[in-house]
Amino acid sequence: MNLNPHHMPHHYRLLADIGGTNARFALETPGKGVEALSVLRCADYASLAAAIEHYLASAPVQSVHRGPIHDAAIAIATALDGDLVGMTSHHWTFSIAALRAHFGLTTLLVVNDFTALAMALPRLADDQRKKIGGGLEQPGRPIGLLGPGTGLGVSGLMPAGERWIPLASEGGHATFAPGDFTELGVLQALWSEYGHVSAERLLSGMGLESIHRAMSGETLSAAQITGRALAGDSAACDRTVACFCAVLGTVAGNLALTLGATGGIYIGGGIVGRLGVLFERSQFRARFEAKGRMAPYMAKIPTFLITEEYPAFLGVSALLDDHLANHH
């Protein structure tokens, strides 16, 4: 008998984390972690099905697995309601039932990306997160999550006995409230442009661009703004990033108060991790705690930056485990 692990009958399942910009795929053997991880640009594919087909036909996948896949779970950056899924920040739309049939899957679980990311939080090791400021997490208490990327994802995690219940939230679209006169000026500029101004209008890639335009009159891309701020060669970009981090602190603090998230607040998404020392030195933590008479309560709540590169896979795998356990 050939005991080469590549020839053993693995029960692989497909995991995906679909954002507005990138689609991340991996194969997972339960209990053994992920393999054949691949990141594809959403814009390069006409549909999610086309991206999955490309991934499954790719050399990394073919080298470890050629048989049928029966179970799959997809975390996707959009609100979910029923069978038809349409992405908020990209043009892909699909029917869950049709996609399941197309790939011959027994199970296809589709969840909001921040619901999946929330489920990953209790599974993060200390080297997969970085504490920002003080506070001490209380075990078995609510946890909050927000992450600026293509949009602003918001979620929470509620303890329920031995299990965690993730919240499907659209909190990124809650109304933005300025914390100082600089932010009031940004809000006034965005009011004239959009009418309703949500937190996402500031806390996203486009939000960085909007803040910069409102504060400096200059039009730059988010990548240019963060690049120049990190290089230290643009005072205007420094101010933009400083404003962004302060606003994030206020919104994170609001989420902590709303959820009673004494288990901690986590920051994910694609932007903050790239800011490095600019985020760590920013007003984020000070603004998080700046809640008037509730400041002592806020000071006890820890805030963490997620440093794990692909945390949503941990969460979507846990959700698939739960789904299979309860439906088989």
Q: Is residue 323 part of a domain?
A: yes
**Same structural domain for residues 142 and 288?**
yes
**Same structural domain for residues 80 and 156?**
no
Burial class of residue 165, CB neighbours in 10 A (0-12, 13-18, 19+): middle
Report pLDDT digits (tens) over 281-322: 999 999 999 999 999 999 999 999 999 989 999 999 999 998
Report the predicted TM-score, pTM, of the whole model to 2 decimal places: 0.85
Supply the CATH number for residue 75's domain.
3.30.420.40
**Same structural domain for residues 60 and 80?**
yes
For the chain, how many structural domains are there in total?
Answer: 2
Supply the CATH number for residue 149's domain.
3.40.367.20
**Same structural domain for residues 105 and 199?**
no
Domain membership of residue 80 as a residue range:
5-112+311-327
> Which residues does 167 contact at the CB level (< 8 Å), separation at least 6?
115, 118, 155, 156, 157, 158
Burial class of residue 216, CB neighbours in 10 A (0-12, 13-18, 19+): middle
Please tell me the predicted confidence (pLDDT) of residue 114. Answer: 84
**Same structural domain for residues 269 and 319?**
no
Q: Is residue 18 part of a domain?
A: yes
Report pLDDT digits (tens) over 170-217: 899 999 999 999 999 999 999 999 999 999 999 999 999 999 999 999
> Which residues does 246 contact at the CB level (< 8 Å), separation at least 6?
179, 180, 183, 282, 283, 284, 287
- Going by pLDDT thresholds of 50, 70 and 90, the confidence category of residue 20 is confident
Report pLDDT digits (tens) over 64-78: 877 789 999 999 988
